């Protein structure tokens, strides 16, 4: 039962979906404040490379190394996001252009690759996030491998989903955040600091993208490869739209796409001769379909993007 294709797909869905989930959650927060961050891909890679080097170089007990790597990845992602925030919020650079710039700068052919080279990350990461067999329950039918045999990163991601959900919809700060993204002029009139809110949440988004990065470099593909995220950052952006800016639905989407991206490997391993390239393109085709359907007006007002997403905020004259 636990060896069936369905199970394999579900397990992979969670495993491969975790980095998508982190990046998308972070982006949800940033976009809820009105900032579109196209630099997610670059921020994931920055987190990945920083996490990698810590894992390879830090001489300390395993858990400490992983903790430091985790924090360092967050910092790397947040700092990269700070550049984006500064450019778009203060310098009023177009958000699309700025995000793109950061992905080119930090991306697979850029800074992350440069640093990996300088730091000579050639070997598999010394410390990785392994699957934790919680309470030895991994052999329980169905729930075993799904719930009790995931990595710490996955478990934390579930916590993150719960926290983000609660934050957005059940706290005052979350309400304030949402008002900034929907109507910054109203938020400003209510005395909220729009600029500060946007800066903070953009950086949180970057930090979470960084964690998504180490999901790759310290778990899924433990040896550094330039551009190892292979466009997952972009899919995360689409996931935010797919999940209608709601953490729980984003999680569903992340696992859906996680399943799709590993489908080809699984089918091949089982002997089904489906050309892997076609299956590889499925997530991307799906993304386009979803985007077109959503923008063609199928969704209702409550499901739409934050009204002020992508726009710079200028205060009324005094």
Partner 1 sequence: MAVSMRGITKRFAGGVVANDGVDLDVAPGEVHALLGENGAGKSTLSNVLTGLYRQDEGTVSLFGKPVSFSSPKDAIAAGVAMVHQHFRLVTKFTVAENFLLGSGGSFDAKNAAERITALGKEYGLEVDPNANVWELSVGEQQRVEILKALDRRAKILILDEPTAVLTPQEADALFATMRRMTEDGRSVIFISHKLHEVMKVSDRVTTLRDGRTVGTVVTKDVTSADLARQMVGRSVVFNEDDIEDRPEVDPSRLVLDVLGLSAVGVRPQSSPKSVDLQVKAGEIVAICGVSGNGQRELAASIYGLLKRTSGTVKVNGVESKQKGPRESTALGLAFIPEDRLKTGLSASLPIKSNLALKGYRFAPMSSGPFLKHKVIKANAEEKVKRYGIKCPGIDTPTRVLSGGNVQKVLLAREIGANPHILIASTPTRGLDVGAIETVRSLLMEAARNGTGVLLITEDLDEAMALAHRLVVMFEGRIAGEFHRGDFNIEKIGLLMGGHSGEDGAA
Partner 2 sequence: MIRLEPRLTRPKWLAFAVPIGSIIAAMILGALLIMVSGNDALATYGRIGERAFGDVVAWTDTIIAATPLLLTGLAAAAAFRMGLFNIGGEGQFVMGAVAAAWTGLALGPLGGWVAIPVMVLSGIAAGSIWAAIPGFFKTKFGTNEVITTLMFNYIAASFASFLIFGSESFVRELEGSGKVFPQGKVISDDVIWPAFGGGGFSVPLGFILGCIAAMALWLLYRQTRFGFEIGVVSDSPEAARYAGINVPRTGLAVMTISGGLAGLGGASNIGDIRHMLDPKGLNQSGYGYTGIVVAALARWNPIAVIPVSILLGGLANAGRSLQGEDFPAGLVGTLQGLLLFCAVSGEFLTRYRVRVAARRAKVEVKAA
Nearer to partner 1, 10 or 175 (CB): 175
Stretch (H or E) spanning 292: helix 276-293
CB 262 within 8 A of CB 16: yes
The neighbour count for residue 73, using CB atoms within 10 Å, is 31
- For the chain, helix (H) and strand (E) counts, in that order, are 13, 0
Distance in Å, CB of 53 to partner 2, minimum? 12
Distance in Å, CB of 188 to partner 2, minimum? 17
Distance in Å, CB of 294 to partner 1, minimum? 16
Distance in Å, CB of 239 to partner 1, minimum? 21
With CA atoms as reference, report the closest residue to 98 among 35, 175, 44, 151: 35
DSSP conformational letter for 151: B
Distance in Å, CB of 197 to partner 1, minimum? 13
Q: Which of 53, 69, 115, 194 binds partner 2 (CB under 8 A)?
A: 115
Q: Which of 76, 237, 251, 260 binds partner 2 (CB under 8 A)?
A: 237
Q: Rule CB under 8 A: say whether 278 interacts with partner 2.
A: yes
CB 95 within 8 A of CB 30: no
Nearer to partner 1, 46 or 164 (CB): 164
Q: Rule CB under 8 A: say whether 299 interacts with partner 2.
A: no
Q: Rule CB under 8 A: say whether 118 interacts with partner 2.
A: yes
Q: Which of 7, 82, 280, 299 binds partner 2 (CB under 8 A)?
A: 280
Q: Rule CB under 8 A: say whether 291 interacts with partner 2.
A: yes
Query: Which of partner 1, partner 2, none lies near 287, with the C-beta cut-off 5 to 8 A by kind?
Result: partner 2
Cα distance between residue 289 and residue 92, in whole Å: 31
Nearer to partner 2, 163 or 288 (CB): 288
Distance in Å, CB of 305 to partner 1, minimum? 10
Residues that bind partner 1 (CB under 8 A): 170-172, 175-176, 178-179, 182-183, 185-187, 189-191, 301-302, 307, 316, 318
Query: CA distances (Å), 38 to each of 32, 88, 133, 295, 315, in order?
Result: 14, 12, 36, 19, 25
Q: Which of 64, 67, 109, 248 binds partner 2 (CB under 8 A)?
A: 109
**Exposure string over 279-316, b if 16+ CB within 10 A, otherwise e:** beeebbebbeebeeebeeeeeeeeebbbebbeebbeee
Contacts of residue 230, Cβ cutoff 8 Å, sequence gap at least 6 = none
* CA-angle at 191, arms to 186 and 197, nearest 5°: 85
Q: In the complex, which residues of this chain contact partner 2 (CB under 8 A)?
A: 38, 83, 87, 91-94, 96-98, 100-102, 104-118, 226, 231, 234, 237-238, 241, 275-278, 280-281, 284-285, 287-288, 291-292, 295-297
């Amino acid at each position: 039962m636990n060896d069936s294709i369905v199970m394999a797909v579900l397990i992979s869905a969670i495993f491969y979906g975790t980095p998508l989930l982190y990046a998308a959650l972070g982006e949800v927060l940033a976009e809820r404040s009105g900032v579109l961050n196209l630099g997610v891909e670059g921020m994931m890679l920055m987190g990945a490379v920083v996490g990698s080097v810590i894992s390879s170089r830090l001489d300390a007990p395993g858990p400490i190394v992983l903790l430091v790597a985790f924090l360092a990845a967050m910092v790397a992602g947040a700092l990269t996001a700070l550049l984006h925030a500064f450019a778009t919020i203060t310098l009023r650079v177009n958000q699309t252009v700025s995000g793109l710039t950061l992905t080119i700068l930090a991306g697979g052919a850029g800074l992350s690759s440069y640093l990996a080279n300088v730091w000579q990350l050639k070997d598999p990461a010394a410390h990785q996030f392994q699957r934790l067999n919680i309470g030895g329950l991994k052999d329980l039918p169905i729930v075993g491998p799904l719930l009790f045999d995931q990595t710490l990163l996955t478990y934390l991601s579930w916590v993150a989903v719960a926290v983000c959900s609660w934050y957005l919809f059940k706290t005052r700060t979350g309400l304030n955040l949402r008002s900034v993204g929907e109507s910054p002029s109203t938020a400003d009139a209510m005395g909220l600091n729009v600029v500060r809110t946007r800066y903070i949440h953009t950086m949180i988004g970057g930090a979470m993208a960084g964690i998504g990065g180490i999901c790759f470099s310290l778990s899924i593909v433990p040896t550094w490869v330039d551009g190892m995220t292979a466009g997952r950052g972009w899919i995360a952006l689409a996931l935010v739209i797919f999940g209608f800016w709601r953490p729980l639905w984003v999680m569903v989407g992340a696992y859906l796409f996680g399943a799709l991206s590993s489908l080809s490997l699984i089918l091949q391993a089982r002997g089904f001769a489906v050309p892997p390239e076609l299956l590889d393109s499925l997530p991307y085709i799906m993304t386009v379909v979803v985007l077109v359907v959503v923008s063609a007006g199928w969704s209702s007002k409550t499901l739409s993007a934050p009204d002020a997403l992508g726009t710079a905020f200028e205060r009324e004259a005094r």
